[in-house]
Structure formats: C-alpha cells, structure tokens
Structure 1
Amino acid sequence: MPLHVPPAPASALRSVLTALGSPTAVREAPVPGLRAHQGPLCPDHPLPLHVWDDVSKTGGTPLTRLAGWSFLVRGGERAVATAEAILTADGWMFARFCGGPYVASTERALVQAESLNAPYQPRLLSVPELYMLTLWLHHDVTADGAEGLPAAGDLLVPLAPAPPGIAAHRPHHVADLLPRLTRRLTPAPLLREPA
C-alpha cells in the first residue's frame, strides 16, 4: 500500500530548498556524504518529527510534541543526509543537516513500510531518553501530520541503531512497544538491606 506522506508547511520546504541552494551551507554541513556529493540535491519525503519527552513520567501515555519537519536529502538515487526545519517565532526556518546511520535507516524503513498491507501516514517519533528514533506509521492517513498522539492501531518501526533489546526495522504495534519503553526507563526500586 502506498504511504500517504503529509505535506510539509510551504515555508519549511522553502527554508530547506534555500539551504540546499547555498554552497556555503552545504560546504559547511557536518555531513561528509552531503559535502562530497556532486550534482543536484533535492528534499524528499517530508516527515513531521515528533518528540516523546518524559517517557518515564507519563506512565505509558505518549505525550508528544511536534519538534520540526525532517526531509530526506536525495543526491541521485539515494539519500545522503536529512535536512530539518523548526518552527520559530518568525515561522519555519532551516535548522540543520544531519548524517549518520539514521539517514539510510529512515530510507530503508520507508521502503519497508510501502510493502505493508494497510495505508499509513509516515512520521518520525524521537524518544530522547532512550536515544531512539522510530518511523511512526499513523493509521489515520487524513490526519494533520503535525498533530496527534500515537494510537493503538499505529505501528512504530525502530530505526537502526536501536536501543539494546529492541529490534531495529521490526514493526511493533504502539500498544506492544510503549510498555516496553516505559519499563526500560522506570528506575529500579532500591534494595533495602534486611533488618
């Protein structure tokens, strides 16, 4: 089934296009693959980037916030980086280029998601407390990609590298994965010495 990629705000896309059109911004990016690429670069697959903060304090209830929009930056047939735009008081602004393993992992997870039997709206969900990034496949393809919470019918696909004990690129229902994440972050009770 095809993924229903939500449209990014026009000003977020413009800010990324401006950065990609700036030889200085590309040359000074901390992403070797972006700097080394010869030829045109273009943004692709805009994904709303949500952050789940304070996992251990929410008792398993995912309280997320929109942190920005992430675009895969294509150089030819493959993604060479991501470009992020964030909302500021002046509107959507280009924030940074990113590289590393999450670029190829995001691309791989999107291809994997295309082969699923149900339509989904792709998003990214970051869990900073676990140093974890997931492809969030939202079941409501007509929803505003900038809003909403993970629902029981949604899938989360941990991107590589995933935290120990969580398999990367394996789709998990939200209802199955979230309790595992909260358990990982719940402090172990202090052991008292016997009296």
Structure 2
Amino acid sequence: MPLHVPPAPAPAHRSVLTALGSPTAVREARTPALQSAQGPLSPELPLPVHVLDHISPDDPAPCTRLTGWRFLIRTGERAVAAAETVLTPDGWAFSHFFEGPYVPSTERALRHAETMRTSYQPRLLSVPELYMLTLWLHGDTDADVTGGTLGPTDLLVPLAPAPPGITAHRPHRAADLLPVLTLRLTPASLLGTPA
C-alpha cells in the first residue's frame, strides 16, 4: 500500500527552495555532500517532525508536538542531505541543512514502509532524551499532521543509529515500544529501585 505523505506547508517548501538556490546557504552548510553534489538538487518527501517530550507509565497514548518539517534533498536517485524548517512567529522558515546516518536510514525505512500491506501517514518522531529518531507510521492517513497523539497500533521504526538494545529498522507497534522507552526515561527513584 502506498504511504500517504502529507503535503508540507507551502511556506516551508518555498523556504527550502530559496535556501537551495542561495550559494551562501549551501556554501555555509556543514554538508560536504550537498556542496559537492552534481546536478540539480530537489527537496522531496516532506515529513512532519514531532517531538516526544514526556512519557509516563500511566499514559497509554502520549502526545507529541510538531516542531518542524524535514525534506530529503535529492540529486539523481539518492538523498544526499536533508533540510529542516521550523515554525517561527512569522510562519514556516528554513532552519538548516544536514547530512549523516539519519538521511539514508530515513530513505531505507520509507522504502520498506511502502511495501507494507497497510496504508500509513509517515511522520518523524524524535525522542531527544534517548538521542532517538523513528519513522512514525500513523494509522490515520487523513489525520491533521499537527495532531500528535500516538495510537497504540501506530508503528514506530527506529532509525539507525538506534539506542543500545533497540533494533534499527524493525517496526514496533507503539503500544509495544513505548513501555520500553518509558523504562529508559523513568528515573530509578520513581520505579521504586535504589539509585
């Protein structure tokens, strides 16, 4: 089943196109792959980026907050970098370019998700306290991307590099992975064990 990739806000897309057309923005970016790319660069596969700030053992459906949109920057057949946009008081604006392991890992996870039998709305979910990024496959393909409630049957695909003990690129139901994350994020004193 195909993924239902939500359209990015037009100002976010325009801000990335403007940055790609700016020699200064590209030259000052710490992305050698972007600077040395041959051929035209295009922003593709925009994904809303949500952050999971808090997980609680008694919250079966934790909420997230939308923090930006990420675009994979392609040249030819592959993504060489990514561009991030953020919401400012004046609207969506370009934030920065970057490269690294999450770019090919995101591309790989999206390719795998395209082969699944169920349709999903793809998002990215960041868990900053664990230095973890996942592809969030939201079960409601018509959902407003600004909404951030994780459904128990939503799938989370940890991107590489994943935290120790969590396998990258293995889809997990949110209901199964969230308790693992909760244990890692909950202080020992709250679990009743000595620190």
Gaps of 5+ in 2: none
Matched, 1:62 2:62: yes
The residue number in structure 1 matching 2:187 is 187
| Counterpart in the other structure of 1:45 | 45
- 8 A contact 1:4–1:122 mirrored in 2: yes
The answer to whether the Cα contact below 8 Å between 1:60 and 1:182 also exists between their aligned partners in 2 is no
2:18 maps to 18
Partner Cα separation in structure 1 for residue 177 and residue 76 of structure 2: 35
Amino acid at match of 1:113: A
SS of 1:55 mapped into structure 2 = coil
Structure 1 counterpart SS, 2:143: coil
Closer/same/farther in 2, CA of residues 79 and 96 from structure 1, 3 Å limit: same
Inter-CA distance 34–56: structure 2 relative to 1 (3 Å threshold)? farther
2:61/2:151 contact within 8 Å kept: no
2:124 maps to which residue?
Answer: 124
1:108 is matched with: 108
Q: How big is the shift at 1:54? A: 2.8
What is the alpha-carbon root mean square deviation over aligned residues?
Answer: 1.5
Q: Are the structure 2 counterparts of residues 56 and 44 from structure 1 closer, same or farther at C-alpha, using a change threshold of 3 Å? A: same
8 Å CA contact retained: 2:83, 2:97: yes
- On the 8 A contact 1:49/1:70 being kept in 2, the answer is yes
**Equivalent in the alignment of 2:135:** 135
- Residue 51 of structure 1 and its aligned partner are, at CA, apart by 0.3
Deviations 1:93-118 (A, max 9, x none): 00011111000000000001001110
* Percent of residue pairs identical: 68
Structure 2 length as normaliser, TM-score? 0.94
Are 1:60 and 1:179, in contact at CA under 8 Å, matched by a contact in 2? Answer: no
Could you tell me whether the CA contact under 8 Å between 1:138 and 1:154 is conserved in 2? Answer: yes
For residue 185 of structure 1, report the CA deviation from its aligned partner: 1.3
Change (3 A) 1:21 1:147: same
One-letter code aligned to 2:194: L
State the aligned residue count: 192
> Could you say what secondary structure the match of 2:40 adopts?
coil
Q: Partner of 1:125: helix, strand, or coil?
A: strand
The one-letter code sitting in structure 1 at the alignment partner of 2:35 is: R
Equivalence map 1:21-36=2 (5 Å): 21-36=21-36
